[in-house]
Amino acid sequence: MDFAAYWQYTDIVTKLLFFSLIGLSIASWIAGILRLYQSRRLKSKVSMDLMQAVKAESSTISAISSSDRRTVVEQVLLKEIGRYRYSGEKGLAILGTTAAIGPFIGLFGTVWGIFHALHSIGQSGQAGLSQVAGPVGESLIMTGLGLAVAIPAVVFYNIAIRINRQTLFIANDTAYSLLGNTAKPTDSFETIQVDSLK
């Protein structure tokens, strides 16, 4: 099928839907690639960052009791894990929105194209298969385009969510280890941290 012939047949609504889908596709590919890169980066450094955040508080917590030390370390870890959770969710709204609305925009384009084709047939007065098949087939391109936009967004979204879950699992595992070490004397606590960083 000749795309130029299809493009001449479309009206302003179909062109607007087409450019909306192209814009969503570009945005989801950029957001998806950046999200995967940043999520992998976060995953690789989460343990080290949590240990360094606790180590930065070691001078403050060295003079307080074990229960207070645990509370301070817990607050530091919760704050850092919250930052990681927030950082891991950036860009997911674009991917989720594209995955959800892409097929519906394509479907609306198909319905609009079929309506447009039937309206043209009604005006010409000829209702043969050759008059219906071409315009209806061309309007189905919008459904295919909607799916082509949505499927990569779903794949990017699911991979990013999986990496983020792994990152939070590592963060929580590290946090539990660090919290367990807070009950120990401060010098052994720092020794365990140094051993964990190796």
Q: How confident is the model at residue 63 (pLDDT cuts 50, 70, 90)?
A: low
One-character DSSP codes across 108-121:
HHHHHHHHHHHHHH
**C-alpha separations of 70 from 43, 47, 80, 192, 195 in Å:** 25, 18, 15, 15, 20
Half-sphere exposure at residue 92, Cβ-oriented, CA atoms within 13 angstroms: 16
Query: In whole angstroms, what separates CA 16 from the centre of its chain?
Result: 25
* pLDDT at residue 180 tops 90: no
Residue predicted with more confidence, 28 or 178: 28
Whether 32 contacts 160, CB under 8 Å = yes
Reported pTM: 0.77
Q: How do residues 2-47 score in pLDDT, each as one tens digit?
A: 666 666 666 788 788 889 999 999 999 999 999 999 999 999 888 8
Angle CA 34–30–22, to nearest 5: 165
pLDDT category at 132 given cuts 50, 70, 90 is low
Residue among 101, 90, 87, 89 nearest 25 (CA):
101
For 103-115, the pLDDT digits (tens) are 999 999 888 878 8
Range of the domain at 132: 3-197
Contact 54, 175 (CB under 8 A): no
Phi-psi region of 45 (alpha: psi -120 to 50; beta: other; left: phi over 0): alpha
pLDDT of residue 191: 46
Count of domains in the chain? 1
Q: How large is the angle between the packed helices 12-56 and 66-89, nearest 10 degrees?
A: 160
Question: What is the reported pLDDT for 97?
Answer: 94
